[in-house]
Structure 1
């Protein structure tokens, strides 16, 4: 997997959210390596499990102690394939197992980097296949950036890399791509090194870059045979300004006592709820601090709310609600808001509103509670008021939340998108569909550049857009967005999740009406594609 980030001054929407989260994940994995060494045998057993070859497993252990990470990376194909596959696909469970290897390999590349002889500039090459869609995106992203989410192998020999590019040009749905990478030692900050002396194929003159190295896209050309030539240059750390602001802010939001705390928080932000829950449970099993037990119980309850397990969420929040309110105002406010969400999803609106109001009152009185929490409480108060059809008060709270978020957060922060989505939902309820779709599109534009493409929030915005398109008699658009919503949510939730069932019902109803319209020639049947809605998803 690669991340392609277009220049902000050309098209702001090219800002790539997955880049932010992959960078944060890389930082955490490298920190886990320094904090706790992972079992090497467990990792290598995974790499060679299909072969059931204990000889190779034992040999790797010997070589790892005798030689170096680069040596093992070079001579054990299953090792580098497994590492890079896990990095590209963000296989969290496997990545945590292999942090020792990722960290050791990165460390050795960094140590050897100053020894690379570069008098002026160095040019290296890489040949590979990219999907036709990725190639088109490269063409429109000149002046932007590209990040390879793996340890990147390159060669100083152009003919070798061209051979790899040409051999991949016939792959179905793909084009062969030759990357030409220019390295200026004066401005480059990402570590790389020659591994020629360690390699089984020294004639390839391999240069290995550490994972998630970022390059500037200088120019792109396409040859008559369909082969893409892409000129890149290694950059310093001064990348896209909007991207950098979001990265810094997200990094601050996931601060925690240990790397596992940070990892769990990051996975929650990414919408990887089951993975996040797994690590919160690990933390819960290793602490004896009551404060932390209450906090972790609260986090687990939030996830249970998201995945539709309200019974367990209620039990977890009940544990958290035992927390002494005088000891930690921020945690007390969060726990009240957590129970408010349980009540909200259980249709207990008065109880929910009371607890959200209590959380916000605590936040207003405490200078230690951050703006993110205040925005969340105000936004959710507005949402409950909207459900109670108190639209003026709801809009007042949404606007107050928006004022804080716009003033204090990066312009691409997902909290701003959530507020816009709720305002769009409010106007939908008031049947002002023009205002509704305007706000929903604002929300979508931010979510598209600040969240992973499979984040559940992306599913909910597609559902809300689908509902508006129904009212605008644009059935094709409505069906398109509802199908996207279902596809996205099924990546995070089971098929019987209440939100998926609701959206599937919506999708099926619109599809039936659409077929009915197409089978009829009467103007009456062509008039619209609407039907009655159930309550929308709480934000």
Structure 2
């Protein structure tokens, strides 16, 4: 808490009101419940949710004590209020807010899918109050007013929530507060008023940890990063969903705070992953080699962390078309993994797939296909059908079939990859752009230009939002416009 108080005094140095609130927080923090502080009229509420919404990791790390205490407070209240409830006790709550036109259009496209709130989520039992908030957002011409109508079943194992009426600073409000990362199923979406196309109602239903679409994927991802702790787990998750800039911000902060060589090696490795994802291949190799150098000093020669570094280096050399270096590094990686991991471990499958990419680049398509199919078989035995690695295998197999001249098999594989990616990846993930681009190329080969152009344009649009302006993949998507008559 001490670091947070110092941070706040610097941030609000010219704000006498908030400086008094900081004194009060330092003096009386343990005299009130965390929920009381969350609803108290001061900087805490806005600072916390702004940091969570925009992933300002310097602020989030400093507020870690309060995030932890607030979550525990909600968990305890939830247990006290809803213990012994039955399924028939479902109830409806409301939330009114403004969404940007881009966010609202994306919401419309994902009807029937899942919607996640990254912040602590305030809702109300009063529909009229919530509708007023939705209407107020219309004062900004760039926003769409949305009334979320949420059906809640208290018996579900899900993000904890609780009525905070009796513990809030404002004890007259009928507020229900959710902890972070609540997930809802998007239902019916309708216009509230016929003469107003900027005011909409969206039905949401709280999902449980047993929701099939959530459970298989989240359990697998949780297992893959379960050995990580705290902020490192968040960093790895951000990489998995394609939020490279935010992940880089977090890892740089963690590196500055670290005095542990093993942790520094871990951070260097993941900065390599990030730079690879951003298309900065020289920096990616640099970070991987720094991680490898540290780990060679502190780990055994066959430790699987070394295998991960060799794997990353090999994958980057593949993208640089330096196939001899790529193959040497990837075979070293596979050798280490085979010595230290079980035969069906997903890391071994990833190595097979990466070696397949090398043989693809070298023009040895039969060997490439063999490695990719071996990877896919391991994934099928160990991963849910909607795991991102399954999509990657189908994508890579489709690429090989394309070069072998088997267009129908190539399209089938890429459509399978896209189907998985659209189900489980965030709408801004760069892997989606890659799938749109490949399918667009296939339609161009089939002379179905209008349909192909739609996919290429989607790839370019998404690439502009999710990749650096100089990323080689984005350049490829733009160049593919030449495949279509009358577009250049």
Task: Give the shorter-chain TM-score range.
Answer: 0.7 to 0.9
- Cross-structure match for 1:253: 224
Identify which of 428, 437, 440 aligns with 1:463. 437
Identify which of 165, 172, 175 aligns with 1:195. 165
Asked if 1 retains the 8 angstrom alpha-carbon contact of 2:251 and 2:271, the reply is yes
For residues 150-205 of structure 1, what are the alpha-carbon distances to aligned partners after superposition, in whole Å with 9 as ceiling and x for unaligned? 323333444434544565689767354252545556988723132356344x4433
Identify which of 128, 132, 136 aligns with 2:96. 128
Q: Indicate whether 1:96 and 2:81 are aligned.
A: no
Asked if 1 retains the 8 angstrom alpha-carbon contact of 2:8 and 2:22, the reply is no
- Cross-structure match for 1:42: 7
- Cross-structure match for 1:358: 332
- Cross-structure match for 1:62: 24
In structure 1, the residue corresponding to 2:486 is in which secondary structure? helix
- Cross-structure match for 1:262: 233
Partners of 1:308 and 1:178 in 2: how far apart?
39
For the structure 1 residues 371 and 37, does the alpha-carbon distance in structure 2 shift closer, same or farther, using more than 3 Å as the test?
farther
Partners of 1:186 and 1:336 in 2: how far apart?
43
* TM-score normalised by the chain length of structure 1: 0.74
* TM-score normalised by the chain length of structure 2: 0.81
Q: More deviation in 322-331 or 392-401?
A: 322-331
For the structure 1 residues 110 and 163, does the alpha-carbon distance in structure 2 shift closer, same or farther, using more than 3 Å as the test?
same
Q: More deviation in 365-374 or 336-345?
A: 365-374
Asked if 2 retains the 8 angstrom alpha-carbon contact of 1:40 and 1:98, the reply is no
- Cross-structure match for 2:468: 494
Q: RMSD of aligned C-alpha atoms?
A: 3.7
Partners of 1:300 and 1:53 in 2: how far apart?
37
Give the deviation of 1:264 after TM superposition.
2.2
Q: Indicate whether 1:514 and 2:483 are aligned.
A: no
Q: Indicate whether 1:74 and 2:39 are aligned.
A: yes
For the structure 1 residues 343 and 224, does the alpha-carbon distance in structure 2 shift closer, same or farther, using more than 3 Å as the test?
closer
Partners of 1:327 and 1:257 in 2: how far apart?
22
For the structure 1 residues 404 and 70, does the alpha-carbon distance in structure 2 shift closer, same or farther, using more than 3 Å as the test?
same
For residues 411-462 of structure 1, what are the alpha-carbon distances to aligned partners after superposition, in whole Å with 9 as ceiling and x for unaligned? 1111111111111111222333322221111111111122222222222222
Number of equivalences: 471
Give the deviation of 1:81 after TM superposition.
3.4
For residues 43-69 of structure 1, what are the alpha-carbon distances to aligned partners after superposition, in whole Å with 9 as ceiling and x for unaligned? 5865x68xx414313324414625443
- Cross-structure match for 1:404: 378
Identify which of 267, 271, 275 aligns with 1:300. 271
Partners of 1:343 and 1:185 in 2: how far apart?
51
What stretches of structure 1 of length at least 5 have no aligned partner? 1-35, 517-539
Asked if 2 retains the 8 angstrom alpha-carbon contact of 1:195 and 1:208, the reply is no
Identify which of 265, 273, 297 aligns with 2:244. 273
Q: Indicate whether 1:375 and 2:349 are aligned.
A: yes
Q: More deviation in 220-229 or 288-297?
A: 220-229
Partners of 2:358 and 2:310 in 1: how far apart?
15
Partners of 2:433 and 2:182 in 1: how far apart?
30
Give the deviation of 1:337 after TM superposition.
1.8
For the structure 1 residues 328 and 255, does the alpha-carbon distance in structure 2 shift closer, same or farther, using more than 3 Å as the test?
farther
Identify which of 130, 137, 151 aligns with 2:120. 151
- Cross-structure match for 2:323: 349
Q: More deviation in 371-380 or 300-309?
A: 300-309
Give the deviation of 1:289 after TM superposition.
5.5
Identify which of 164, 177, 185 aligns with 1:208. 177
Partners of 1:499 and 1:412 in 2: how far apart?
24
Q: More deviation in 75-84 or 415-424?
A: 75-84
Q: More deviation in 340-349 or 434-443?
A: 340-349
